[in-house]
């Protein structure tokens, strides 16, 4: 389910969304409401960045722009989207195949015409040669036209193939991303972890999984509301994206306020260093009232680090990292424990 906010929070978001709708010329319809609801909820960072850029430029959002923004940022790629892209790709390739088949038929006909001309030339009979030459000339023209048509279609199709491939890659990628934080979602985490443990690490390295949990997160929600809670989660997502920068590594939102760092082909020492950097940056995070700049929330995280062992499956690694995480909680929080 896309929207899971409780009644009190959704009422607050309704008020904020209506306020935004009143500032722009787009009609008050469900599509416009959906756009502004996602914007004020802060659950769609890419949408917020696009809308804020338009607002900074002084651009008013009308019906056409609402539709464009919703198509680009709101409606998530799903299996239906992937299927549509696949179908378009299949239809495109079928069209190329038909053109290639027609060209092949023309080549066959042209071969028959050449054979007829060869036989006529062997007889040295001008009455037989003349019509055969005419047939070959016509066949040459038809073959040339067919080749030109195929070449044109292939060239045009290349652009369309590139567009469809990008659309497919984007759909696949965004299906694995948590919209609130910009890191992997649970599906992306499971897929990446499975691939990590399936590959044997090179000598001198190991695979490392770190589980992180925001300390006292329930208290943040109870005291300041879910909007501030979401800003805390977004803040940690930004810290993870800025800190976990190795091309092989990945960070993920495991669920709720729990996150993970996957560090394949790493070392315990390096993984410890990366996680401590995340913990220190999180501790420095300040969530402020946007109007008064008053600090509302400071944040800490607890972590558990587990290194891969031969024979480990994904569940084994998660279980050890989780156990170490809860040891950190039990020891007073705001710390990292090695399994």
Model pLDDT, residue 109: 58
Residue ranges in the chain whose pLDDT is less than 50: 1
DSSP class per residue in 152-197: HHHHHHHHHHHHHHHHHHHHHHHTTB-TTTSSB-HHHHHHHHHHHH
- The domain 186-338 having CATH identifier 3.30.70.270: the answer here is yes
Enter the pTM of the model.
0.56
Model pLDDT, residue 87: 63
For 268-285, write each residue's pLDDT tens digit: 999 999 999 999 999 999
DSSP class per residue in 1-12: ------HHHHHH
Distance of CA 331 to CAs 121, 170, 236, 277, Å?
Answer: 99, 43, 22, 20
62 vs 51: CA distance, rounded Å: 12
| 236-242 CB contacts, 8 Å cutoff, 24+ apart | 236/181, 236/212, 236/282, 236/285, 236/299, 236/301, 237/178, 237/180, 237/181, 237/182, 237/183, 238/181, 238/182, 239/278, 239/281, 239/282, 239/285, 240/181, 240/183, 240/278, 241/182, 241/183, 242/281
Model pLDDT, residue 337: 96
Model pLDDT, residue 135: 64
Three-state secondary structure call for residue 295? strand
- Given CA atoms 245, 237, 183, 194 in this order, what sign does their dihedral have? positive
Model pLDDT, residue 107: 55
Model pLDDT, residue 94: 59
């Amino acid at each position: 389910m896309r929207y899971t906010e409780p009644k009190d929070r959704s009422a607050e978001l309704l008020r904020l969304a209506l306020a935004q709708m009143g500032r722009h010329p787009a009609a008050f319809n469900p599509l416009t409401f959906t756009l502004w609801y996602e914007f004020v909820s802060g659950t769609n960072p890419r949408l917020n960045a696009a809308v804020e850029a338009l607002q900074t430029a002084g651009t008013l959002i009308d019906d056409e722009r609402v539709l464009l923004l919703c198509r680009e940022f709101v409606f998530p790629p799903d299996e239906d989207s992937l299927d549509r892209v696949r179908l378009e790709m299949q239809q495109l390739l079928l069209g190329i195949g038909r053109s290639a088949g027609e060209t092949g038929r023309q080549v066959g006909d042209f071969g028959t015409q050449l054979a007829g001309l060869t036989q006529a030339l062997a007889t040295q009979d001008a009455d037989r040669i003349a019509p055969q030459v005419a047939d070959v000339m016509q066949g040459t023209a038809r073959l040339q036209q067919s080749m030109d048509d195929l070449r044109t279609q292939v060239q045009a199709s290349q652009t369309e193939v590139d567009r469809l491939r990008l659309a497919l890659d984007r759909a696949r990628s965004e299906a694995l991303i948590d919209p609130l934080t910009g890191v992997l979602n649970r599906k992306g985490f499971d897929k990446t972890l499975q691939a990590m443990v399936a590959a044997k690490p090179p000598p001198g390295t190991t695979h490392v999984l770190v589980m992180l949990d925001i300390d006292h997160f329930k208290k943040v929600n109870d005291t300041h509301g879910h909007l501030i809670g979401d800003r805390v989660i977004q803040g940690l997502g930004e810290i993870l994206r800025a800190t976990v920068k190795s091309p092989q590594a990945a960070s993920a939102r495991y669920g709720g306020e729990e996150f993970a760092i996957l560090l394949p082909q790493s070392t315990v020492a390096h993984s410890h260093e990366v996680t401590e950097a995340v913990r220190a940056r999180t501790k420095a995070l300040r969530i402020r009232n946007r109007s008064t700049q008053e600090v509302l929330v400071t944040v800490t995280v607890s972590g558990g680090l587990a290194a891969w062992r031969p024979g480990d499956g994904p569940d084994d690694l998660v279980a050890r990292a989780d156990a170490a995480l809860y040891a950190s909680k039990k020891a007073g929080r705001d710390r990292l424990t090695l399994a």
